[in-house]
Amino acid sequence: MKTWITWIVAMLAVLSTWAQAGSLKVVTDKEQILIGEQIEMTVELRGASADSFRLPSIGDTLRKEIEVLSRTEPDTSYEGANLEQKVLRQSYTITSFDSGYFPVKPLVGYINSQPVASNAFLVGVQTLKIDTAKGIADIKDIEQVPFAWQEWLQETWHWFVLAMAAAGLITWLVLYLSKEKTAAAPEVVIPSRPAHEIALERIVLLREEELWQKGKIKTYYSELTDILREFIEHRFAIPALEQTTDEIVSSMARYPDFSEEERLSVKRLLFLADLVKFAKEKPVGQENETHLATVESFVQSFVPTPESPEKAASHV
């Protein structure tokens, strides 16, 4: 009985010593390759489950002739009935572009800060054998790849979207500018009655309403400038009802019918009306009647008379 117990204790001691010692092994899927081919290399570090591990530090090369192309993340697993063994693995893809046989020195890992060396291994790299009797030829014939619409769209869809957006923007600009151009030249409808008759009638009615006397300054100047704008539009075919003050004055400057004094008079009145409507300007007393008289005088100056046939007859 004692003999069996002694034997079991001895075996456990051996196993414990083996587990604690640990091992580092390097395995490759092939020993020889053609130049430029790849080798899968696995580094495996074994030890006790409670040990601390550190795999070999491998850079971009194993030696100057052997390059490391890629590597996986380290993977940890446990083995044994009681998971008493820990295994740490990491895989690498290596290659070489030099022909020859290249021995790789043992790699060094660490278990509990103690170095553990791996096995050395040999990488053989061969070049293609060239049959000089056949001359130089391509390694492989050129293959015709069918056009793939899906791949083309995946690579160029953003250019397609930009082209569609640009086409849409150009179309919108053309339509918008065409609309603006049409709106910039509204049709002027000339009434059947003379423009001065309509304007003078409206002036009489405005004077009788006594709007400014009742404190309705904005309404008064809105009516007054409307009479002036309507007269200019119907008498001279200038779209004054649709234009701003500056646009009306600019249009008048192109007509020989208006004197400089008449243009300035219209400009001052329209500008004052804008101030009344938008800047709360409040002309007082006789000033309001003076502006009405100015419009009346302006209209009267274009009433046809035998003494001024040219000025009266133009642009009717």
Residues 55-64: tens digit of each pLDDT: 999 999 999 9
Is the whole-model pTM more than 0.95? no
pLDDT in tens, 91-143: 999 999 999 999 999 999 999 999 999 999 999 999 877 666 666 666 667 77
pLDDT reading at 242 higher than 50:
yes
- 8-state DSSP, 215: T
Q: Cα(20)–Cα(46) distance, rounded to whole angstroms?
A: 9
The residue with greater pLDDT, 230 or 153, is 230
**Closest alpha carbon to 63 in 100, 34, 37:** 100
Structure tokens at 207: 């004077």
Helix intervals (H) in the chain:
2-21, 149-184, 195-209, 217-236, 245-253, 260-278, 286-300, 309-313
pLDDT in tens, 193-209: 888 889 888 988 988 88
